């Protein structure tokens, strides 16, 4: 399952036009990256929950979804939370392991290794996590030397020292028995994982070494994801920048003398003659002109200036 419901508040006004999982990253909806990774891991059936701008999400994802995948969209008339959303969308089958991934990530965790750990440890649930430094307070998940989860955000570990500090990446592997223990409405961490730990369920963590990007945290994170792919700082199969540090759709129009440095320009977009753009994203159908840096151009004419951090 891809978690794709939500309001996308932190990316407004981008999310006035498209839901967060559909905002373009290197000219692909960000949820495409999760779908692509899941397809390469052999996952053929994917369910996605929707709420804000549901029709727009389906419109953007259907044409680009991997051909090997069957997509099913489940609409939430009111947002059920990450836990309730999973319960509502999941139709469990005996003995299966259900993969849950947030649809706003550019992230390629080793799902095969995580699944092997999940099955070897006979885990009730497995979190895919990233290790963080001792001073990083971002959603701390505490795990012991055996990879068992001992503490969660808002629920610190009782046994204190000797634990590795990690953050939850938004990717989980769930045994079929989890479904009955999910909340009808609520958070997967607070009303799910925290309760399972308190009940003595075996919850383990797979520590993923590869790079992790949460596109939806801020405009800055959104811009950085685009620029990292355009400049080859981040690589993804099938995403090939032009020579230099830009990605320009074939149908885009570049006016005479336009200069682009670390930019992404979408389909049917227009960059005016003489424009000088540095570290910019021009959405499909948008027009960019003048001298701009660290900006996102929207097709309704708005220009979002992106602040660092």
pLDDT tens, 36-85?
999 999 999 999 999 999 999 999 999 999 999 999 999 999 999 999 99
The answer, yes or no, to whether the previous bond of 191 is cis (omega within 30 of 0) is no
Q: How is residue 271 written in tokens? A: 């960059």
Domains of the chain: 2-214 (3.90.550.10), 218-305 (no CATH)
Q: pTM for this structure?
A: 0.95
Q: What is the DSSP letter of 268?
A: T
Q: For residue range 78-137, list pLDDT tens digits in order.
A: 999 999 999 999 999 999 999 999 999 999 999 999 999 999 999 999 999 999 988 777
CB 293 within 8 Å of CB 309 = no
DSSP string, 75-142: E-SS--HHHHHHHHH----TT-EEEEEETTEEE---HHHHHHHHHHTT-SEEEEEEE--TT--SSEEE
Angle at 43 between CA 41 and CA 48, to 5 degrees: 125
Give the integer Cα–Cα distance in Å for 23 and 65. Answer: 15
Q: How is residue 18 written in tokens? A: 């498209």
What percent of the chain stands above pLDDT 90? 92
Cα torsion 40, 42, 47, 52 to 10°: value is: -10
CB 273 within 8 Å of CB 258 = yes
Continuous segment of H or E residues that includes residue 15: helix 14-17
Q: For residue range 210-225, list pLDDT tens digits in order.
A: 999 999 999 999 999 9
Mean per-residue pLDDT, 283-303: 98
């Amino acid at each position: 399952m891809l978690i794709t419901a939500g309001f996308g508040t932190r990316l407004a006004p981008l999310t006035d036009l498209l839901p967060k999982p559909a905002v373009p990253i290197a000219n692909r909806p960000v949820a495409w990256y999760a779908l692509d990774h899941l397809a390469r891991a052999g996952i053929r059936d994917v369910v996605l929950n929707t709420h804000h701008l549901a029709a727009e999400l389906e419109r953007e994802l259907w044409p680009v979804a991997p051909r090997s995948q069957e997509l099913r969209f489940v609409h939430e008339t009111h947002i059920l939370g990450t836990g309730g959303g999973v319960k509502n969308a999941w139709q469990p089958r005996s003995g299966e392991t259900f993969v849950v991934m947030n649809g706003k990530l550019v992230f390629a965790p080793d799902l095969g290794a995580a699944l092997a750990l999940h099955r070897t440890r006979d885990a009730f649930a497995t979190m895919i996590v990233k290790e963080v430094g001792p001073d990083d307070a971002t959603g701390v998940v505490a795990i012991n030397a055996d990879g068992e989860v001992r503490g969660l955000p808002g629920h610190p570990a009782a046994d204190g020292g000797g634990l590795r500090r990690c953050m939850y990446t938004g990717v989980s592997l769930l045994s079929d028995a989890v479904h009955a223990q999910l909340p009808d409405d609520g958070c997967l961490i607070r009303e799910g994982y925290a309760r399972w730990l308190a009940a003595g369920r075996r919850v383990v963590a797979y520590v993923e070494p590869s790079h992790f990007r949460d596109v939806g945290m801020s405009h800055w994170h959104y811009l950085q994801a685009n620029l990292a792919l355009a400049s080859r700082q981040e690589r993804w199969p099938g995403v090939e920048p032009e020579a230099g540090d830009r990605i320009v759709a074939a149908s885009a129009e570049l006016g005479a003398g336009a200069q682009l440095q670390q930019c992404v320009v979408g389909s049917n977009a227009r960059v005016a003659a003489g424009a000088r753009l540095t570290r910019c994203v021009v959405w499909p159908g948008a027009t960019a002109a003048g001298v701009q840096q660290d900006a996102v151009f929207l097709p309704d004419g708005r220009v979002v200036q992106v602040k660092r951090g």
